[in-house]
Structure 1
Amino acid sequence: MSVIVGNLEVVAPNFKRRLSGVTSTIVQLVPLQARSLGIATLGPGLPEHLPKLRLRDLPKLWRKPASRPFRIWHARRNVEMLAGVVLRDVLRMPLRLIFTSAAQRRHKRWTRFLLGRMDAVIATSVKSAAFLEVPSTVILHGVDLDRFGPAGPVADALPGRLVVGCSGRIRHSKGTDVFVTAMLDLLPRFPDWSAVITGRATAEHSGFLAALEGRIAAAGLADRILFTGEVEDVVPWFRRFDLYVAPPRAEGFGLTPLEAMASGTPVVASDAGAFREIVADGITGRIVPVGDAAALAAAIEPYMADATLRAAAGKAALARVRELFPLQREADEIRAVYERLWSKSPSTMSTIR
């Protein structure tokens, strides 16, 4: 869906064709933001229904928007920060630059340079903010409660079985092997349960997947630990899961626990990403050390054993998400950052660059 550039207030670039957590954030947020804001995406691999700025319209950004002193370029990747710097500082377009940072590590010199050129920085968690050397505003991601919820279609799989779910790309950094190890320990003791892993393994991780499948087959559990591959719609799967496990070794933010909790599903997660800020430990689920399969199994076991505990945690998870993590809250807090920039006179506005 093309846009009228004169009414465009915010550009949300997406310079990565392959689906990622960043792309998912843009896909969910932009339609909501577009209800009250002139916003458009720019880049490949995005759904057709999103408002889009065409590459041939970029020269029109030299003209200020109709109702604002400048446009905002909201980047979420280094390459998008760089593009914004070029457009603003080299081509002298009337732009201000915002970057959303999810990384939980010390940034490399190049990233630190780019961050220093931003007019505002958003961190997706308190943990992410701690790694920034520039001022930031913490805005945790939200979840689309119209899409994710306990009511609606459920994945038609494994009838009569209880299911522990795990969703995401299959690779070492996502802790898929930690989850499988925990399941190899627990499933023989819980014959009514099975495990489902949704998500794909890219070619470079096909050996990792094959090794996991070999371990599962050797344990005689090939019919109870299922790899679905990439699913067209993960929403019915979150409703199908009786317990959700998020085992990454490393994560930026990590949306899947929010999506599970919004579906009324308790969550056991590693202490990665923003999971400690999402999951109320001991209330909506549990948080365990990263990479510790024994600790993960010990945290999962009570939920597999006790339906009352699962129900209480799932109810608490749903209430927590509805109170603290609606997508509208995230959109409103981002809009507040935009408005703070717009409220400053372009002639006097000081930036951190």
Structure 2
Amino acid sequence: MSWQGILFVEHQGEIVGGGQFSLLALMQHLRNYQPHCATGGTGTMTAAVRALDIDVEVISMPPIRPGRIFAVWRCVWDIYRMARKRDVVLLHANGSRCMFYAGLAAKFLRLPVCWHVRINDSDGWWDRLLAGWATCIVVVSPAVAQRFAHLDVGAKVRIIYNGVDLEVFAHGDRAVSRARWGWGDRPVVGMVAQLIPLKRHDIFIAAAALLAPRFPEAVFAIVGSEPDPAQGYEALLRSQVAELGLEERVVFTGFCDDAPGLFAAFDIAVLTSENEAFGRVLIEAMAADKPVVATEFGGALEIVVPGQTGLLVPIGDARATADAVGSLLADSDRARALGVAGRERARAKFSIEAHVAQVEALYVEMLKR
């Protein structure tokens, strides 16, 4: 077994979404390489890396601006120093800012660098620059691959779906989680997502308003926190709930540290995003045997087989979302069948083992160049 070192670069010190969870899972389950990690600050991400007993160092990775030349080069130097000290053979950058810093350090180190791209949105001319520096570009779905379609870098792009530790989500404690939130035996429809406008929680709430009279016992759970409370998005959503008279039906749980238990407590998982590169939470729900209802964004088209493992609805359509959820609340046998089929699809295509095997095969290829 080879224990060559890989330096993972993550500019977040906090866990802010699926990108950090996916990186943690990859580092935790590497089989043939030794992970090291540079993070951009102290916080939940750095603590999670340490909890996995993975070597981690905090390095300031500020936004890249002309007035911060000294800070930028200090970061490059710190990554260079860390890589040399650990004698790593490859750098793995989680996102664009990390790719800038890791890419420059890799040039001085004369090492290959992998750019892991997890979002659809282009960074403009930065994409061309960073793609030129990258030895290989890993994208999480065909939708993300389209971000580079206009650049002459097709040979560098590899589609590798995010991986989920399916066994963890297959064993959530439904009874404990429901007792924690006081849901008892009531039907629970849940949405797990950061509280940001892109996720379109307003559509979830509007669908809840349409469903509430028909299913008077149902609870609609919004799970997640707001990265920047100053933006006022959660306050806006709470106002919408109040205006619709749903205070007793819609629950804001905030960030939950027991995702497996939470998915186990759900009866149906919903994701109403208007644009999502992948949709990791859909796989987590499927691993927990839950039927999913999602909008027809790029990642969901890869994850959900409509009518077989879940249901897809048009983006921004509260009525269609309510109809899909209502059809499953009214037909528990169908909901159960979709959940079972979803679990099997998750096992076949989105396991952490398959993800790690593909990434490690890519490392071998990069190191041979």
- TM > 0.5: yes
Shift of 1:78: 1.6
Whether the aligned pair in 2 keeps the contact of 1:98 and 1:121 (CA below 8 Å) is: yes
Matched, 1:261 2:289: no
Shift of 1:118: 0.5
Give the corresponding residue for 2:309: 284
Whether the aligned pair in 2 keeps the contact of 1:63 and 1:94 (CA below 8 Å) is: no
Query: Which residue identity does 1:49 align to in structure 2?
Result: A
Give the corresponding residue for 1:30: 27
Looking at structure 2, the residues matched to 254 and 260 of structure 1 have their Cα atoms a distance apart, in angstroms, of 11
Among 8, 13, 22, the alignment partner of 2:9 is 13
Whether the aligned pair in 2 keeps the contact of 1:150 and 1:264 (CA below 8 Å) is: no
Whether the aligned pair in 2 keeps the contact of 1:61 and 1:94 (CA below 8 Å) is: no
1:77-92 pair list within 5 angstroms: 77-89=95-107, 92=108
Shift of 1:181: 0.4
Percentage identity across paired residues of the two chains? 26
1:93-132 pair list within 5 angstroms: 93-132=109-148
Helix, strand or coil: the match of 1:264? coil
Whether the aligned pair in 1 keeps the contact of 2:9 and 2:38 (CA below 8 Å) is: yes
Query: Could you say if the C-alpha distance between residues 94 and 286 of structure 1 is closer, same or farther in structure 2, counting changes exceeding 3 Å?
Result: same
Looking at structure 2, the residues matched to 309 and 57 of structure 1 have their Cα atoms a distance apart, in angstroms, of 52
Query: Which residue identity does 1:235 align to in structure 2?
Result: P
Helix, strand or coil: the match of 1:189? coil
Matched, 1:72 2:90: yes
Shift of 1:7: 5.6
Looking at structure 1, the residues matched to 325 and 170 of structure 2 have their Cα atoms a distance apart, in angstroms, of 22
Among 215, 218, 225, the alignment partner of 2:250 is 225
Whether the aligned pair in 1 keeps the contact of 2:171 and 2:260 (CA below 8 Å) is: no
Shift of 1:264: 0.4
Matched, 1:181 2:206: yes
Give the corresponding residue for 2:81: 59
- Residues 93-141 of structure 1: per-residue CA shift (max 9 Å, x gap): 1311111112224441012211121111111101111221222111011
Shift of 1:335: 0.6
Query: Which residue identity does 1:144 align to in structure 2?
Result: D
Helix, strand or coil: the match of 1:245? strand
Compute the RMSD of aligned alpha carbons: 2.1
Shift of 1:57: 8.4
Whether the aligned pair in 2 keeps the contact of 1:150 and 1:262 (CA below 8 Å) is: no
Query: Which residue identity does 2:23 align to in structure 1?
Result: I
Helix, strand or coil: the match of 1:274? helix
User: So what's the TM-score if we normalise by structure 1?
Assistant: 0.88
1:159-174 pair list within 5 angstroms: 159-174=184-199
Helix, strand or coil: the match of 2:25? helix
Whether the aligned pair in 1 keeps the contact of 2:294 and 2:312 (CA below 8 Å) is: yes
Looking at structure 2, the residues matched to 82 and 215 of structure 1 have their Cα atoms a distance apart, in angstroms, of 40
Shift of 1:60: 6.0
Give the corresponding residue for 2:259: 234
Query: Could you say if the C-alpha distance between residues 57 and 341 of structure 1 is closer, same or farther in structure 2, counting changes exceeding 3 Å?
Result: closer
Give the corresponding residue for 2:358: 333
Looking at structure 1, the residues matched to 280 and 159 of structure 2 have their Cα atoms a distance apart, in angstroms, of 16
Helix, strand or coil: the match of 1:287? strand
Helix, strand or coil: the match of 2:51? coil
Shift of 1:163: 0.4
Looking at structure 2, the residues matched to 150 and 53 of structure 1 have their Cα atoms a distance apart, in angstroms, of 29
Between 247-256 and 157-166, the greater mean CA deviation after superposition: 247-256
- Residues 73-92 of structure 1: per-residue CA shift (max 9 Å, x gap): 11122221111222122xx2
Q: Give ranges in structure 2 of 5+ residues lacking alignment.
A: 60-77
Give the corresponding residue for 1:142: 163
Query: Which residue identity does 2:162 align to in structure 1?
Result: H
How many residues are aligned here? 331
Looking at structure 1, the residues matched to 301 and 264 of structure 2 have their Cα atoms a distance apart, in angstroms, of 22
Query: Could you say if the C-alpha distance between residues 191 and 83 of structure 1 is closer, same or farther in structure 2, counting changes exceeding 3 Å?
Result: same
Whether the aligned pair in 2 keeps the contact of 1:64 and 1:71 (CA below 8 Å) is: no
Point out 4+ residue stretches in structure 1 off by more than 6 angstroms: none
